[in-house]
Structure formats: C-alpha cells, structure tokens
Amino acid sequence: MSPKNGNKPRVLSGIQPSGNLTIGNYLGALKQWVAVQHEYDCFYCVVDLHAITAVQDPAELRLKTRESAAMYIAAGIDPEVSTVFVQSHIPAHSELAWMLTCMAPLGWLHRMTQFKDKSAKQAQESIGAGLLNYPSLMAADILLYHADFVPVGDDQNQHLEFTRDLAQRFNHLYGETFTLPSVMNPAAGARIMGLDNPTAKMSKSEASENHAIFLLDDPSRARKKVMRAVTDSRREIRFSQDPERAGVNNLLTIYQAITNEPTEAIQAAFADKGYGDLKRAVADTVAATLQPLQTRYNELMNEAGYLDSVLKIGREKAAEIAEDTLKLAQDRMGFLAPS
C-alpha cells in the first residue's frame, strides 16, 4: 500500500470538463472539496476521460480541461495543500480501467441508473460502449489512490457502491489490493436543481438559457437567471420536499448553501416576504459569490505558466501513487513484469 501523507485519510473526487462549471458544481462539490482539504489528503482531478463518453469538440475539450482546473483553484483549492491533476495525464487510469472492465459483470453495468438515463436519450446503435463502462473508469480513479472518502452528489452513490463491489471482487479473487472507499455526501441541501426545471439536477450540459448559472456568467446575467427561476403559485417561503414546491426549495437551498445560515433563521427572515424578495436575496448572494471567484480565475488564467506548473506537479504526485497501485494490481492479476 502506498504511504499516506501524514496518515490523513485520503479523499479523491473529480468533475467532467464537458461544459462550463455551474453554481451547482460549486455548491455541491467544490465548496466541500475546499472545506475538507486540510483535514484529508486530497486528490482532485479533471476527469477528461469521462467527458469523452459523449462526443467532445477537441479544441473545446482542451480548453475546458484547463478552465476546470483553474476554477478548482479559484474556488479555493490550494494546490500546495491538495493535489490537482488531469485524469488523462496519468495513463494508469486507463490501464486499470481496462482490467476492471474485464471483471465488471454486464448485469451490474446495465443496472446503473445513470447509464439507463443517458442511454435512453440516444438511439440504441449510437450509444458508445464508454457510457456503459463509465463506472469501471470511475472505480479505477478511486482505487488507484486508495481513497478512503469520495465526496460526490447522491446521484453518484450507485457508482460508489459499484466501486466497492468491484474492489471486493478483485480483493477476493487476487488478494487484498484495494481500499474500499466510502461516500462523503455534501452537507444536507447542497444538491442544486435547474432553475427552469427544479426537479432535475442543474447540469452544465443542458442547453436552455435559464437552466444553469455558470461560474463565469456575468453577475448581472446570473441575477437575471435567478429572477426568472421557476417557482409556484403559492406564497409561503419554506424548505419543502413537495415536488410542486421544488422551485422555491431550490432557491432557499442555494441561499443556504452560500450563507450557511440555519433553516429556521432563513425561514424566519422570509416569513413575511414575497417570492420577488426571495429572488432578489438569492441573486445578491449569488452575485457576491461569483465576483471574487471570477477575479481570481482571471488572474490564474492570465498568469503565464502558473496553471501548467500546478498541473505538472499534480501529475507527478498523482503518478507516483497511481503507478505503484497499478503495478501491484498487474502483478496480482498475473501480468509478466517487463525486465
């Protein structure tokens, strides 16, 4: 097993560079990644190999990969504390993913709700095999680093379960090799939904104009999107799990995720207010969040060589661990070591 930095438990997570990062990525993932980085030995990657499970424009993918890494840092991830890297820079991810693919029962893969959802939206013949094998690659990401905890949204719990099952299967067949990871779900309520369709998770790859607030949206544009968010025809401003109240609940959730105020205090503050007041308050906190993030992002992108040097150091730190684990797994499976 690879030595862990000061015996801190290890954390690994990633976001696909398949579009522009949204306030959902920030409040549901990045903010939590930042919060745990001193307590855990953290590895945060830009998962470009996952992004190609849908066709990507090459120039766009390259750009989004850099932009995502810059946004991790702008959000507060300190590259001197956490390891920030690009998944495809470490060939061990692809190599272990193949080994795990060969062990992954088709039945398990077909049962993944993300696969079912995504494949249902495409013609049968055009569904790439990568979409089905996506969880084996995610398992490789996690297992290569012996991650103890994986901060992900609850839509990824099934992939985490799959990773544990596959690791157990490998350990059982070939001897103790992988650490079984646990899920680290974000603090209650940090699941941000689409502003135009509050029963679906906010997505960076949804085309409609008022669906997502992007972290690089001009604050005035972000404001407009909040003001146009879908609500309902009632009046009461309360957190609610009622699907009909999902729009108001989502606005309150965004407000809470940014301000960290307790539920009761928020509900009391809006008790005699209207939806317009709620939207203005959310728009204010959102704009105040975006501004410093964008300033820092622009500095990072304009500082020649800085981002590349962060990714180079990240790559070296990640490769050391990943290559050790890969070698061990290859040996256990019976591959002849090159002399």
Q: How far is the CB of 152 from ligand TRP (least distance, A)?
A: 5
Binding flags for ligand TRP, 184-203, as an x/- string (CB under 6 A): --------------------
Q: How far is the CB of 47 from ligand TRP (least distance, A)?
A: 4
* Nearest distance from C-beta of residue 289 to ligand TRP, angstroms: 21
Number of residues forming the site for ligand TRP (CB under 6 A): 13
Q: Which of 31, 64, 204, 279 is catalytic?
A: 204
Q: What does the alpha-carbon distance between residue 241 and residue 244 come to, in Å, rounded to a whole number?
A: 9
Considering only 84, 142, 300, 326, the residue that binds ligand TRP (CB under 6 A) is: 142
**Residue with Cβ nearer ligand TRP (50 or 279):** 50
Rule CB under 6 A: is residue 12 a binding residue for ligand TRP?
yes
- By CB under 6 A, residue 47 contacts ligand TRP: yes
CB of 63 to ligand TRP, least distance (A): 19
Dist CA 84 CA 12 (whole Å): 10
Q: Based on CB atoms, which residue is closest to ligand TRP, 110 or 273?
A: 110
φ/ψ region of 6 (left if φ > 0, alpha if ψ in -120 to 50, else beta) reads: left
- Short-list 29, 120, 127, 136, CA closest to 77: 29
204 is catalytic: yes
Task: Tell me which residue of 180, 182, 167, 181 sits closest to 329, measured CA to CA.
Answer: 167
**28, 34, 41, 50: which one contacts ligand TRP (CB under 6 A)?**
50
| Residue 118 is among the residues annotated as catalytic for this protein | yes
Q: Is 71 in the site for ligand TRP (CB under 6 A)?
A: no
Catalytic residue among 4, 8, 64, 201: 201
Residue 146 binds ligand TRP (CB under 6 A): no
Catalytic residue selected from 118, 121, 225, 273: 118
Q: Is 273 a catalytic residue?
A: no
Cα dihedral: 172, 175, 177, 181 (round 10): 30
Q: How far is the CB of 209 from ligand TRP (least distance, A)?
A: 23
Residue 150 near ligand TRP by CB under 6 A: yes
User: Taking contact as CB under 6 A, which single stretch among the options 12-20, 267-275, 283-291, 302-310 is the one that binds ligand TRP?
Assistant: 12-20
The residue within the footprint of ligand TRP, chosen from 10, 11, 14, 325 (CB under 6 A), is: 14
Among 152, 212, 216, 237, binds ligand TRP (CB under 6 A): 152
- Contacts of residue 196, Cβ cutoff 8 Å, sequence gap at least 6: 208, 210, 211, 228, 229, 230
Binders of ligand TRP in range 81-140 (CB under 6 A): 138
- Tell whether residue 156 is a contact of ligand TRP (CB under 6 A): yes
**CB-nearer residue toward ligand TRP: 117 or 299:** 117
Closest of 114, 141, 256, 109 to residue 189, by C-alpha: 256
Cβ of residue 327: shortest distance to ligand TRP, in angstroms? Answer: 21
Based on the shown chain and the rule CB under 6 A, indicate whether residue 42 belongs to the binding site for ligand TRP.
no
Site for ligand TRP, rule CB under 6 A: 12-14, 16, 47, 50, 138, 141-142, 150, 152, 156, 159
Residues with active-site annotation: 118, 201, 204
